[in-house]
């Protein structure tokens, strides 16, 4: 069979695909290798809904690390592309299937164990982020990274993308919480990195290299995650602005005075999409909504909230509202978290994840509005504004070729804008397949050359998630 990703084209020899697959099936317990088309179909795309996703030969639903090793060794032996997959909720096509490859799903590996004395969670990659949070909470502990999809996304996927979330503005991202990891390398070797110790600089920083590697350097089969004490219930501030530009300026001002535990924005398009889908009590006439939280202890919370309120007023807020009511707060946060899903109900979507240094947020939102106007495309905007990380969401009718063309033009233009502002094409979702065309523009040929050297060192056959992250060498 052929490995048709980029410049590597290798015929695996005498054995044909059918025979090779039969060998894989016989090497694994019954039911682990899935080949019926109806089931396989479910594993072709992730939430990027990439129409060009391939069709794998099979899906391997591994139950443990040993089976992962078997699958990887088989893929290496037969030069078959292997796409690791968590819950398939990625937004960048990072786990889109490759034609003629296998998709290695970790969805069955869902164990979560808490070591409360060490304040760590030992997790399998298929466990959902919410499973880790729940298990930690039983011990008064907290695993902070909280992508909006935390109830349905896998820890493995979080590790692969170095996922962020709403609380990251104060508590950091996934990589800041990884203490240890088991990884199956491209030749099937399983290595154990790190452990339960908090600080460890023994050797090269390989642990941190695998976090964010989007399945291109190895398959994570276990991770040790640092936990911290449960978050203090604090207060929520909600502020209305006439425009995203003004709201962005408020974000910049807030960031200069307070370490908010949440600092998010929603624009009028996203607010209305959310209210169309399910009422969250958001005012549909709002130009821009700023949603912030302080979890400072005791009276310090009120002090922080007041500082944030003052910053909003100074930036021209039409209204500022604060609450310590848990349910009320939860409703606003849910509105923010449900934006993606709500917008998907409106049509086809293209998800962006661009980030800029925070002071340039107003320039970014203005530029995005300009792109929407120029291309005649609807772009909703929500943002982890306190981090400078935004999610422009392009909504369009994919059945209309002209609309499709303009949508993709807007997609590219938004990334180009972020790069021009000195920022990034992806703050937390990952490059996947959807954004790799813009990676060269952001990092340049020397960094890509360096990246390929690392990639080749770990995956000389190029079997691990080919087509994800790094553009073909010839394009670098």
Task: Tell me which residues in 157-196 interact with a second copy (CB under 8 A).
Answer: 161-162, 164, 168-169, 172-173, 175-176, 185, 189-193, 195-196
- Tokens at residue 2, please? 């052929």
- Tokens at residue 142, please? 């907290």
Whole-angstrom Cα distance, residue 254 to residue 361?
A: 13
- Least separation, in Å, of the C-beta of 344 and a second copy? 22
Interface residue with a second copy, options 14, 117, 399, 474 (CB under 8 A): 117
Fill in the DSSP letter of residue 359.
G
End-to-end CA distance of the chain: 27
Binding of a second copy at residue 23 (CB under 8 A)?
A: no
Residue 24's φ and ψ, nearest 5 degrees, are -65, -45
Evaluate whether 224 touches 122 at the Cβ level (below 8 Å): yes
Binding of a second copy at residue 453 (CB under 8 A)?
A: yes
- Least separation, in Å, of the C-beta of 207 and a second copy? 9
Binding of a second copy at residue 387 (CB under 8 A)?
A: yes
Q: What residues between 215 and 244 interact with a second copy by CB under 8 A?
A: 216-217, 228-229
C-beta atoms surrounding 4 within 10 Å: 16
- Tokens at residue 456, please? 């080749």
- Least separation, in Å, of the C-beta of 437 and a second copy? 12
Closest CB to a second copy among 22 and 457? 457
Interface residue with a second copy, options 14, 30, 138, 199 (CB under 8 A): 199
C-beta atoms surrounding 472 within 10 Å: 14
Binding mask 286-315 for a second copy (x = CB under 8 A): ----------xxxxx--x------------
Measured in whole angstroms, the distance separating CA 163 from the mean position of its chain's CA atoms is 5
Q: Which residues contact 451 (CB under 8 A, 6 or more apart)?
A: 443, 469, 470
| 3-class DSSP state of 112 | strand
Interface residue with a second copy, options 23, 319, 450, 475 (CB under 8 A): 450
Whole-angstrom Cα distance, residue 35 to residue 24?
A: 12
- Least separation, in Å, of the C-beta of 185 and a second copy? 7
Whole-angstrom Cα distance, residue 211 to residue 208?
A: 5
H-type helices in 186-243, by residue range? 206-210
Evaluate whether 106 touches 84 at the Cβ level (below 8 Å): yes
Q: What residues between 407 and 426 interact with a second copy by CB under 8 A?
A: 422-426
- Least separation, in Å, of the C-beta of 455 and a second copy? 7
- Least separation, in Å, of the C-beta of 203 and a second copy? 6
- Least separation, in Å, of the C-beta of 325 and a second copy? 22
Binding of a second copy at residue 429 (CB under 8 A)?
A: yes
Interface residue with a second copy, options 44, 79, 384, 391 (CB under 8 A): 384
Whole-angstrom Cα distance, residue 365 to residue 252?
A: 13
**Opening angle at CA 273, ends 42 and 289, nearest 5:** 125
- Least separation, in Å, of the C-beta of 9 and a second copy? 23
Binding of a second copy at residue 444 (CB under 8 A)?
A: yes
Burial of 153 (0-12, 13-18, 19+ CB in 10 A): buried
Interface residue with a second copy, options 211, 291, 380, 410 (CB under 8 A): 211
Q: Site size for a second copy, by CB under 8 A?
A: 90
Closest CB to a second copy among 83 and 418? 418
Q: What residues between 248 and 267 interact with a second copy by CB under 8 A?
A: 252, 255-259
Binding of a second copy at residue 388 (CB under 8 A)?
A: yes
Binding of a second copy at residue 202 (CB under 8 A)?
A: yes
- Least separation, in Å, of the C-beta of 278 and a second copy? 29
Binding of a second copy at residue 138 (CB under 8 A)?
A: no
């Amino acid at each position: 069979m052929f490995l048709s990703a980029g410049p590597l084209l290798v015929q695996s020899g005498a054995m044909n695909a059918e025979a090779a697959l039969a060998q894989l099936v016989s090497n694994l317990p019954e039911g682990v290798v899935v080949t019926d088309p109806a089931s396989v179909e479910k594993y072709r795309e992730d939430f990027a809904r990439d129409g060009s996703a391939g069709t794998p030969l099979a899906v391997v639903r591994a139950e443990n690390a040993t089976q992962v090793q078997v699958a990887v060794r088989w893929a290496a032996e037969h030069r078959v592309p292997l796409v690791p997959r968590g819950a398939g909720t990625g937004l960048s096509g990072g786990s889109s299937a490759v034609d003629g490859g296998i998709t290695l799903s970790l969805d069955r590996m869902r164990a979560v164990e808490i070591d409360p004395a060490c304040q760590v969670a030992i997790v399998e990659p298929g466990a959902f982020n919410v499973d880790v949070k729940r298990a930690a909470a039983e011990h008064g502990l907290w695993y902070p990274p909280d992508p909006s999809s935390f109830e349905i996304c896998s820890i493995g996927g979080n590790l692969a993308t170095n996922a962020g979330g709403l609380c990251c503005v104060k508590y950091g991202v996934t990589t800041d919480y990884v203490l240890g990891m088991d990884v199956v390398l491209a030749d099937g070797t399983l290595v154990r990195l790190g452990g339960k110790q908090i600080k460890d600089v023994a050797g090269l920083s390989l642990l941190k290299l695998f976090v964010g590697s989007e399945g291109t350097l190895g398959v994570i089969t276990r991770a040790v995650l640092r936990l911290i004490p449960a978050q203090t219930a604090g207060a929520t501030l909600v502020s209305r602005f006439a425009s995203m530009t003004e709201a962005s300026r408020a974000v910049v001002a807030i960031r200069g005075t307070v370490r908010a535990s949440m600092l998010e924005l929603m624009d009028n398009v996203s607010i209305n999409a959310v209210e169309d889908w399910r009422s969250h009590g958001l005012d549909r006439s709002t130009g821009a909504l700023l949603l912030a939280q302080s979890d400072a202890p005791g009276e310090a919370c009120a002090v922080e909230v007041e500082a944030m309120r003052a910053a909003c007023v100074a930036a021209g807020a039409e209204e500022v509202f604060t609450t310590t009511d848990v349910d009320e707060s939860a409703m606003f946060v849910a509105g923010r978290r449900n934006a993606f899903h709500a917008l998907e109900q409106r049509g086809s979507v293209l998800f962006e994840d661009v980030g800029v240094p925070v002071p340039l947020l107003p320039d970014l939102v203005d530029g995005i509005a300009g792109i929407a106007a120029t291309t005649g495309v609807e772009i909703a905007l929500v943002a982890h504004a306190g981090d400078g990380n935004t999610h422009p969401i392009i909504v369009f009718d994919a059945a209309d070729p002209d609309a499709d063309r303009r949508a993709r033009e807007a997609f590219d233009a938004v990334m180009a804008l972020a790069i021009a502002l000195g920022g990034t094409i992806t703050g937390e979702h990952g490059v996947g397949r959807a954004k790799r065309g813009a990676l060269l523009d952001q990092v340049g040929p020397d960094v890509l050359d360096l990246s390929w050297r690392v990639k080749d060192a770990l995956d000389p056959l190029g079997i691990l998630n080919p087509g994800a992250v790094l553009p073909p060498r010839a394009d670098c």
